[in-house]
Amino acid sequence: MSEKNVVSRTVAIRLVILYIILAVGLLGIIISYTSIINSKDSYIQSKDSQIQILTNEKYQLQSWLDRNETLLSYLQTWLDENTTYYNTQIDSLNSQILVLTDQNNQLNSQITNLQNQISDLNTQISLLTTQITNLQNQVNTLKTPKLIGVNLKGDDNGPFWDKLYLKVYGYVCNVGTNTAYNSKIHVILYQSGGVVANNTYITLGTINGESWISVDSKVYFDGPALTGWNLTLEWTS
């Protein structure tokens, strides 16, 4: 072979090798680009999917907001209506409370007046009870038998008679309503020096209420003349 043919062949081989290298490099670039495109498409699809999910969530949220706005509007309307109603009710109740408070104050004032009247009445009742008790005691005292002497006296008949005696005479009255039982006159005769000449009783018996009996009795003694005597009425109810 000539030298020229050899060079041409060498150049051709080199060109083939260069073409192969370029083809392989281009294929690598195409594969890499394809992978990048596929990766990008996958990324885009992922983002589209996320966007779709977010869009769906947005629609759901919007629907939820729409429903809740409707509910909120209904609740606001209900609240406004009921606020007016309850405010009216509260105003009415406050008016009733004012009326009841005024009535309560009036009742408390009446109660205080009644308590004062009751206190005054209790005081009057206490006074009346005391008066009734006093009157009852007076009635009982008037009913209780009580003996008094009317012109009841004693005359000493000592030195002029053989038998020395004190003449007791007069009247004994029962000024009470009830009967006096065991009525008697306790007679004590005294002589000079405080000597008791006689200590005895003149029996009168039973004296009905508001009645009287006459007395004419003699109480005898011995010794010197009398210096004094006591006449005491006694009885039992």
6, pLDDT greater than 70: no
Q: Distance (Å, rounded) from C-alpha 61 to C-alpha 59? A: 5
* Lowest-pLDDT choice from 121-125, 145-149, 232-236: 121-125
> How do residues 74-129 score in pLDDT, each as one tens digit?
777 777 777 777 788 888 888 888 888 889 899 898 999 889 999 988 999 988 88
CB of 145 closer than 8 Å to CB of 174 = yes
CATH superfamily, domain 145-236, is: Immunoglobulins (2.60.40.10)
Q: Distance (Å, rounded) from C-alpha 173 to C-alpha 180? A: 10
> How do residues 155-193 score in pLDDT, each as one tens digit?
988 655 567 899 999 999 999 999 999 999 999 999 999
Q: Distance (Å, rounded) from C-alpha 195 to C-alpha 186? A: 17
Domain edges within the chain: 1-86, 145-236
**The pTM is what?**
0.46
